[in-house]
Amino acid sequence: MIPHGTVEVQTGCAHIDLCGGGVINLGELGEFGLIGALESWLPSGPTVLTGIGDDAAVLVAPDGRVVATTDFLLEGRHFRRDWSSSSDVGHKAAARSLADVAAMGARPTGLLVALAAPADLAVSWIRGFTQGLAAECARAGASVAGGDTSRATSVLLAVTGLGDLSGLGPVLRSGARPGDVVAVAGTLGRAAAGLALLTAGLTAPGSLVRAQLRPSPPYDAGPEAARLGATSMIDVSDGLLADLGHIADASDVLVDVSSAAVKDPLIRTHCGDTAELSCVLTGGEDHSLVATFPVGVDLPPRWKLIGSVRSGHGVTVDGKPYPGPPGWDHFRG
């Protein structure tokens, strides 16, 4: 929502009054008006040395290395404008990339956001979107540092997350060793349960629906895991079994998950027994962090033990193969 009062945006030679002057969509605002608005709506923090408005951003990288990841959020595929508020979309866009940064054990520093949209998209939608982006970046300690704008027939987003390793090695997918324990920080399956509820036309309970619309990754658990000596880590975006499968493949180990440890009574209550197990094992988009640690590491309470690493290949549940697809494949799904 555009705040009451007048927002004056400097756009080259002209000032555009976004509230009083009748500028209501992107076609009227124009590309350079939009860039000016984004600049005023997304103030940069201490990690950003040169922010929105130049050819590129400049961010701090005190470690001498930079962690970088990029992700699409495409309307109709990753979000629906009739389900998600513009602020929800901003939160989700930031979370999707910044969780990947945290999953390397890095501290998020910045976000670049490429936005393509129809010319008739309301400027108020963009305003809400930037509020969600900024709020989620603030949760992670990062700022929006730059981006790109273009025109498209639907809202297309590509978000790039950047981060700093603070002197530690990146936590890769390839370091899990037989004997390690598997632990997760954050929820499992709630985003998938929320999607199932929305698909059924329901909007409650809020805690499940919100998990789908506005995931809330535990960013600081990423650097925490690195400090604790995590041997591998990944964010749960495709589904727990699929993502643990990436660790199993990269580390050449077998990962076994305890179904009792991952069950979630809230999901069971609202979605039933069968959906509960399917959601927690194969539902993505919670953007929680799952990591392996050497036995004996004293894990803080938010890290919940859910399994173990053994010699072998692939992922099992309670020692047995899971009889279904482990997660999402964009081209086959």
- Taking the C-alpha atoms of 200, 201, 203 and 205 in order, what is their torsion angle to the nearest 10 degrees? -30
Identify whether the C-beta of residue 107 lies closer than 8 Å to the C-beta of residue 164: yes
- In angstroms, give the least distance from the CB of 187 to its own copies: 18
Question: Which CB atom, from 183 or from 209, has the smaller least distance to its own copies?
Answer: 183
Site string for its own copies, 46-85 (x = CB under 8 A): ---xx--xxxxxxxxxxxxxxxxxxxx-x--xx-------
165 DSSP 8-state letter: -
Interatomic CA distance for residues 124 and 8, integer angstroms: 14
List phi, psi (to 5°) of 198.
-60, -40
Nearest Cα to 241, choosing from 258, 265, 219? 258
Q: Pick the closer one to its own copies by CB: 31 or 318.
A: 31
- Closer to its own copies by CB, 14 or 202: give it: 14
If the CB atoms of residues 272 and 324 are measured against its own copies, the closer one turns out to be 324
Scanning 26-34, 263-271, 299-307, 316-324 for contacts with its own copies by CB under 8 A, the matching segment is 26-34
152 forms part of the interface with its own copies (CB under 8 A) = yes
**Is 94 in a helix, a strand, or coil?**
helix
Say how far apart CA 318 and CA 306 lie, in whole Å. Answer: 10
Q: Does 162 bind its own copies (CB under 8 A)?
A: yes
Report the alpha-carbon angle 110-183-71, nearest 5: 30
**148 binding its own copies? (CB under 8 A):** yes
Which SS3 state, helix, strand or coil, does residue 127 take? Answer: helix
Q: Which is nearer to its own copies, 7 or 234 (CB)?
A: 234
User: 292 has which bridge partners?
Assistant: 182, 232
- Minimal distance, residue 130 CB to its own copies, in Å: 16
| 12 interacts with its own copies by CB under 8 A | yes
| Sole window of 103-111, 183-191, 200-208, 261-269 interacting with its own copies (rule: CB under 8 A) | 103-111
Window 306 to 325, contacts with its own copies (CB under 8 A):
313-314
Site for its own copies in 165-204 (CB under 8 A): 165, 170, 172-174
Closer residue to its own copies (CB): 187 or 232: 232
Classify 122 as helix, strand or coil.
Answer: strand
Residue position matching structure tokens 């997760």 = 184
Residues in region 225-284 near its own copies by CB under 8 A: 233-235, 245, 249-250
> If binding is defined by CB under 8 A, does position 34 make contact with its own copies?
yes
Phi, then psi, of 302 in degrees rounded to 5: -70, -15
Residue with tokens 């984004």: 38
Residue 161 touching its own copies (CB under 8 A):
yes
11/276 with CB nearer its own copies? 11
**Minimum gap (Å) between residue 172 Cβ and its own copies:** 5
Q: Does residue 217 interact with its own copies by CB under 8 A?
A: no
Burial 92-126, CB ≥16 within 10 A → b, else e: bbbbbbbbbbbbbbbbbbbbbbbbbbeeebebebb
- Residues touching its own copies: how many (CB under 8 A)? 77
